[in-house]
Each structure stands twice: as structure tokens, then as C-alpha cells.
Structure 1
């Protein structure tokens, strides 16, 4: 029997035609135990945190209990993976329990990841080792505090079972929350089957759920496409500004609501290098840091192609006219990205505005950082400290990072540019501290937390890291180790998917 304190579901996606998903109960597990719950997020979603941490809540997160109102499904989609087309993918190790209405009125999916086989598992076991669950929890919550649109961590539980990859590993299930899990690949799935009715139905659903203003436009689908392109431009600009590298920017990992999803082989860059790759399966560097804006544009082109059959709603519409509309929408992406990126860069550099004349200054800084193998995060953070040299900074990162003599000419140019700016030094520094974090989920710290949990069931390093990352812009010298780049013997150069 379900507790009266259990969440209230309000499911809408299951009302779509059943070809959009398969009803799917999660697999039960042996002895679920709580790792952590996200109390603040639970409260925002209207979930009683005490219920979530109770035996019934833990059983729900493990897949052993279905609360009243839950309607578990596995959704279907297709996608381009590393540029290669796969006509059917789908939730191979995830089950969508249902939807919740947050206190602010926003609708969210609650999904269990690592919850067993589904019709889309393609031979896999549908389970997740503990390591990828902890990585996703750490990374997505860090991204949220860094103001990056992202899926969120509601909670994580261990299963008491082993998952077999190249070795036996403890199993876990991750509770993921997203504004929806509809992907570019979802549209591609139905477009490949020439199912125009499904494309229109899915577009109507997306407009109603995420783009309500598009419903008032003369061409709602085109307006929706423009809105998606704009959201993606802003999202990728935010990734680039903090040195985040996704690792698997396939079209099936691109949510149309504009949130970051799939924190498998991802990581934050330390030494600045546009060619940086962490993913063990990205053999040719397709998704390297410097390639991410271009790949986002390519993915959006696949979305536009999938929508061609319904993109032009004029009475005299033709394939050529639909292609012209799609191309016009796609051509806007580079400028949208550049404006979003420069709006962030002006804050990182301490400027009140960013003009074309400022771009060489910024590019010269990046060139220097690459030449000097400067830490991306600490370099910008130290720059923020120098923005108001009359201020007394008790907790400085100068012992962790300092500009060497090769930066001196550039720093002189930057200071001259600041003299021309309208902000006071105090205003400038406050802006820069807000734009330049000191704590990011460094790969060696994430790995340290995973190893301790996997080998010794010790979650203290995991919990401490999650807590430190809640305040990424405030430097505490007592937490100095969390701001330090990896030592040579600590470097983790490859990250892996959990499948």
C-alpha cells in the first residue's frame, strides 16, 4: 500500500499514441540502500524528503515499489551516434516513472536510470554500475549550481547486486529529473518512418509543454524549431564558458527542452586546449571541447531535416519551401551562439559590454593559456582577483595559480581596456567572481569518490564533493584541495559510459 506522503503524479506523455513508448516496469533489486537524496530538489517537486528517504521512497528509487499514479514506460527514439545513423535506440536502461508538477508550475519527468532491461536494451542488461551513477549525480548538480540548464539528481540508491562489465561492480539506480526526455532522436525516429502524424502529434505536445508561445504563431512548428535552436545556442555557450566537455553529443543525447543530459564520458577541462577529449569511445575527437558548437549546429540540422514534412504549413508548401525555412532557421545558430557566448565572456573579463574590438584581446588570452598549459578555471578566477587591486582579498587563489611573465603584456592590455570601461573596480570584481567559479568537479576528485564507494562502500568523499560544489564561486582555503588541478599521478584522462 502506498503511503499518503508519496508524490502526486500528473502524467501526460503516456496519453500519446503507444508507438511513442512501451509500458515497462523497472526490475526489482535485492537489497536497496540509500546513497543520497536531493532534499532541496525534492521539496521543489512537492516530494516529501522524509518519504523519499523512507523505506518506501528508497524502494521506489530502486524500482521495487510503484507509488499510486506512476505509469512506468520506456520511450523510443533513434539517433546519430558519432555521426553514424541508428534507426532505433530508446531507453535501454531507463524507465520513466511519471511526471510531477513542481511548486513553480513546471512539469518534470522522474526517471530511473539503471533499472533493468527494456524492449530497447539491444542485448544489454539495463543495469548501471555504481560509478556512473555517482558521476552523474556529481556532474549534473554541479552544472545546476553553475547556472547551466541540466537534468537533475533526485537521488541514488545501491542495489545490493553486482553488475558485470570488464569486472564485477556494485550496482546502483539513479533517479533523474528532467523537464522532459524528448530528444532530437525522438523526432528522427518518426521522420525515418515517414510517420507525419506522429511528427505533428509530438510537435504539438512539445509546443504545449515547452514552447507555449509558439502555439500563437502563424507557423507553430517553425517557431518551435527557432526556439530550440536558440536554447541550444545558449546551452553550448554556457558549456564552453566553464570548460565542460560532454563526450557523447549524439542526437539521441540532445534534449529538445534545452537541458544537458547524459553525464557518461564527460569531464571538465583543466589545462586549456581546444582539442581536449576525455571520452574513451571518441577515438577521432569528434566531440572535443573546441568542436562542441559546430556539433550542436550539425545536430540541429538533423532535427530540421526530421521536421521537413511538417515545417511549412502554407497551402502551397513544397519540399523546397520547407528546406528554405529550415536553412534560414539553421543559419541563425552561429550568431545566436556568438552573442550568448560573448555575453558570458564579457562577464568573465570584467567588461560592461563586449565589442568586436574585444575579441582579439580574448583570443590572445586563450592562445596564451594554451601555450602555457594554464588551468582554465583558475586562470579566470585569478583574473577576477586582479580586477580590483585595491580590494583586500582574504581568500585568494594566488598560491594555486599565478600568471607568469609571459602573460604580462596581455595583462597590461586588459588593464588598459578596463580603464575605458564604465564599471567601478568593485562592480567589475563582483561580476567576475560570479562568472568565474573556483570549484568545479575535477575529474580526479570524481574518480576518487567513485573508487572509495566502489571498493569500500565509503561515500564520504562523494558527499563532501557534492557539498563543496554547492558553492562553486566562494573560495574557502580549508577546501583548497578541491580547487587544485590533478597532479601528474592523479590525472584521469579517459572517462567511460556506464553501459
Structure 2
């Protein structure tokens, strides 16, 4: 295992022309201290977890001391924010240290989020608050545990430095890793400036670094768009199936590799609500749960437009037309798994739709009901009661269970085998907002970081019951007050 200072860098993004970034050293964080270390990500990188006990570890991950071989920079990009094009954005509070060769044989970019201002900070301080770093740290592990493509975080480093967002809070730096951090908006930045050669350079960079087998192919740029369409469709299908709401699907927050990127005002559904919005500034519901597939396709149209200098319109349209069938197929497969359906029936989409309507009408907890369905036995009326108890309109759930029982009977499977499969598809533990808020409050008010680690462990194995964690699998208390989330969350 490596010490953090022994990571081997090979910074391919830094070798692009200077038009793609601004070189920017991190700004020192006053008296940094380690708040959380993710041992699973440390293992991916080959970093010894014992590094957490060495003072220089926090210095490196705060940006106070530069890792040997790092070439810090802030990437430039543009983006459509709530449908409005903003011609220049960029890494305003994130600094890319470089790309490392990891223990698993892969390459990962290491980025410090909250490491101080950059030329793209737009007069902001370039810092992140403890609240937002805890939420992103946990979200990456929650999504990874669910098998959803995502960026992940190695560590959180804190400081007593006070900064203002909606209120006075303390600063923190998140160490984030991903194969790359290129966004749809990275292409938009050069397209709308008419710099078509830069669009081609960026496209070829992504291909050379991520899909080297395509380099010599004449259709490589079409393959790039097809890849983005497919991965985005599968990612959003997984979001929908697990009840996740990203909260701010601007094109600058969309990864070219189909990774869940930039966790801000996100949330997992408690009771099912198709129009659920977690971002309190999203008054029109543009990024509501039920809108995510539509917005994903809208964003892909924006990406395709940014690639128009490389691909003729017919090819772009053909690629984009693949999104809906890919999304529907992926979502259908995931929901059949969650319902324990082995084979495909054309009526399954209606069965799922009627379940969601019954859940919405009865304000049913999304995760609890789907997990509980594994224990349903058509021949045992007693197994209906726990499911009915989750709903304010139990008769609607009961009527749906009649349909479900007929569907299960058509596949003739042993109930125990079905439940085993369903338990592997329906998480017991999800990152509910009140659980994240509990960890944040203990960290901020008591300097107690144990709840962050407890949640991380649960979310890393969300399908497996863990002793003493029953409360973490329950809906929020009825007295729970909804937390307002913003882009700084």
C-alpha cells in the first residue's frame, strides 16, 4: 500500500492546450483536520488507510501541500442552467490535481472540491461547506453501493474557517475521484465560440483516454455520442428505479461518461411523489423526479448540437433517437427485478404504472414498499397487512396486490427464491435526507464524525441487513421537518 505522497501521476488533461483550463494552485485551508476517510476508495487507489493518522495527509488533501507530480488546474466549460445558456462557467470551487495510476489498474483524476478560488469562481470564495461535502461524500457511496455510475470521494478535510452561504458555516474540502470530469458543457464552451478545432480536440481526448480502441475508426465521434446517449439513458433509468432525484441537471453537471456528477440539492424519495423536487430554487419543477428522463434527453440534444461540427444532422438525430428505447428498456428491466419478475410481459409497464399511482395516492414510502414486497405471499393474507399499513389508502394497495399475485402466479416460482432475488434489487438502506442531516448536525455541532462512517458502511452494502440498523431502514419520523436544499447543499 502507498503513502499518499507516493501516488504516480500521469496528467493527460494537463497536456491539452491551455484553452481548456487555467493553471491554479489550491489556496491553503487554515489548520486542516481529517473528518472522514473512505477506506474502499483508498483501496482502489492503493493508498494505505493508516495515512489517515499522519498529519501531512490532511495537509495534502486540503491543498496546503501539493502532491508530488500533481499539476493543479481548473477546467473551463459552459452550460445550460435551467435551460438558459451560460457561455462561461468552469471549475469555480474545484481544482484538478491530476490523473493517477491506481492499484486496480485504472486511471483516476483526483480533484479537490472547495480548495479555493479559481479564475472561474465568478467572485465567489471557491470554498465548500462541511454540509455539502458530507452530502457528496455519502451520496457517491450510496450510488456506488446501488450499482449506479458515479464519482466517488476519498476523504473530507475540515477547518474552523468560517464562510457564509445561507448561514455561517465551516469550510471543508472534498477529495473526489473519477475517470474524468469532462461535461456536456465542456463541449458547449468551444462550440458556441465557433472553435470547432477545440471541440474535435476534446472529443479525441475523451476517445484516446477512455476508448483507445476507437482512435483509428472513422466513426469514432458518432461512437462517442452513442456512448453518451446509452450511458445517460441507463444512469437515469437507475435513478428512477431507485427513487433518486439529482436536483440540478444542468448540462454543466452532466458527465460525458454517464457518471452521476455534482451532488448538490439531491435526494432519495421517501413517500412516492412524481413531482418531487429537492432544490428549493426549482420552483417550476424542471428537475423533478418524473422529469429526469425528459431533461436527460434535452441535455443530450444540447451535447449533440455541440458536436455538430463533427457529425452531420442525420447521424445526430439517429443517435438521439436511441435514448427513449434504451431508457425504457433499462427502466423496465430494473423494475421487473425489483418486482421479482423473471420474464417479460407487455403488461408489466402498466403494472408498474398502477403501483406508482397507488403509492402516490397513499403517500407510500417508496423504498419500504418495494423491499416489503419480497415478503408478499399470495396465499397468505397476513403478508398484505404490513404493505397496506404503509399507505393512507390501503384499499388501493390491496387492489394492486391482487394484480401482482396473478402476475407472480404466471411465472410459477418458489416465493423464497423470488424474495432472495428481490432483496438483491431493493435496498434496505438508502441515503434519506434526514439521515444525512443527522450526520451533518453531529459533525457540525458536536465534532462527532462517527455517524458519517456508520452511514458509509450501511450504504456500501445497502441490500444486506445489518444488526442494530433497523431505524436506518425506516421512513423518516412523522414529526420530521423537511430540509430545504440549494445548490450549495
TM class, shorter-length: over 0.9
Say if 1:3 and 1:270 are closer, same or farther in 2 by CA, change over 3 A. Answer: closer
CA shift for structure 1 position 397? 7.7
State the match for 1:27 in structure 2: 27
Say if 1:400 and 1:117 are closer, same or farther in 2 by CA, change over 3 A. Answer: farther
Would the aligned equivalents of 1:35 and 1:155 in 2 still touch at CA under 8 Å? Answer: yes
Say if 1:3 and 1:272 are closer, same or farther in 2 by CA, change over 3 A. Answer: closer
Say if 1:3 and 1:383 are closer, same or farther in 2 by CA, change over 3 A. Answer: closer
State the match for 1:415 in structure 2: 405
Say if 1:32 and 1:212 are closer, same or farther in 2 by CA, change over 3 A. Answer: same
State the match for 2:167 in structure 1: 167
- The reply on whether 1:198 has 2:188 as its aligned counterpart is no
Match of 2:470 among 472, 480, 483: 480
Task: State the alpha-carbon separation in 1 of the partners of residues 4 and 198 from structure 2.
Answer: 37
State the match for 1:281 in structure 2: 281
With normalisation by structure 1, the TM-score equals 0.93
Q: Which deviates further from its counterpart, 209-218 or 284-293?
A: 209-218
Would the aligned equivalents of 1:7 and 1:48 in 2 still touch at CA under 8 Å? Answer: no
1:300-337 superposed Cα distances (whole Å, 9 cap, x missing partner): 000000000011xxxxxxxxxx1111111111100010
Task: State the alpha-carbon separation in 1 of the partners of residues 129 and 4 from structure 2.
Answer: 32
1:36-63 superposed Cα distances (whole Å, 9 cap, x missing partner): 1111211211223223542222111111
CA shift for structure 1 position 454? 1.5
Task: State the alpha-carbon separation in 2 of the partners of residues 478 and 427 from structure 1.
Answer: 26
CA shift for structure 1 position 165? 2.1
Task: State the alpha-carbon separation in 1 of the partners of residues 365 and 216 from structure 2.
Answer: 47
State the match for 2:187 in structure 1: 187
State the match for 1:357 in structure 2: 347
Q: Which deviates further from its counterpart, 231-240 or 200-209?
A: 200-209
Match of 1:456 among 446, 454, 457: 446
User: Unaligned 5+ residue runs, structure 1?
Assistant: 312-321
With normalisation by structure 2, the TM-score equals 0.94
Q: Equivalent residues in 2 for 1:83-162 (5 A)?
A: 83-162=83-162
State the match for 1:318 in structure 2: none
Task: State the alpha-carbon separation in 2 of the partners of residues 405 and 362 from structure 1.
Answer: 17
Other structure's SS at 1:19 match: helix
CA shift for structure 1 position 149? 0.4
Say if 1:130 and 1:388 are closer, same or farther in 2 by CA, change over 3 A. Answer: farther
Would the aligned equivalents of 2:388 and 2:395 in 1 still touch at CA under 8 Å? Answer: no
Over 6 Å off, 4+ runs: 396-400
Other structure's SS at 1:69 match: coil
1:210-249 superposed Cα distances (whole Å, 9 cap, x missing partner): 2334335431101110011000000000000110000010
Q: Aligned-pair RMSD on alpha carbons?
A: 2.2
State the match for 2:395 in structure 1: 405
Task: State the alpha-carbon separation in 2 of the partners of residues 370 and 400 from structure 1.
Answer: 14
Q: Equivalent residues in 2 for 1:305-320 (5 A)?
A: 305-311=305-311
Say if 1:477 and 1:400 are closer, same or farther in 2 by CA, change over 3 A. Answer: farther
Would the aligned equivalents of 1:348 and 1:435 in 2 still touch at CA under 8 Å? Answer: yes
CA shift for structure 1 position 411? 1.0
Task: State the alpha-carbon separation in 2 of the partners of residues 187 and 287 from structure 1.
Answer: 22
Would the aligned equivalents of 2:208 and 2:215 in 1 still touch at CA under 8 Å? Answer: yes
Other structure's SS at 1:310 match: coil
Task: State the alpha-carbon separation in 2 of the partners of residues 389 and 24 from structure 1.
Answer: 66
Say if 1:400 and 1:13 are closer, same or farther in 2 by CA, change over 3 A. Answer: farther
Task: State the alpha-carbon separation in 1 of the partners of residues 124 and 471 from structure 2.
Answer: 38
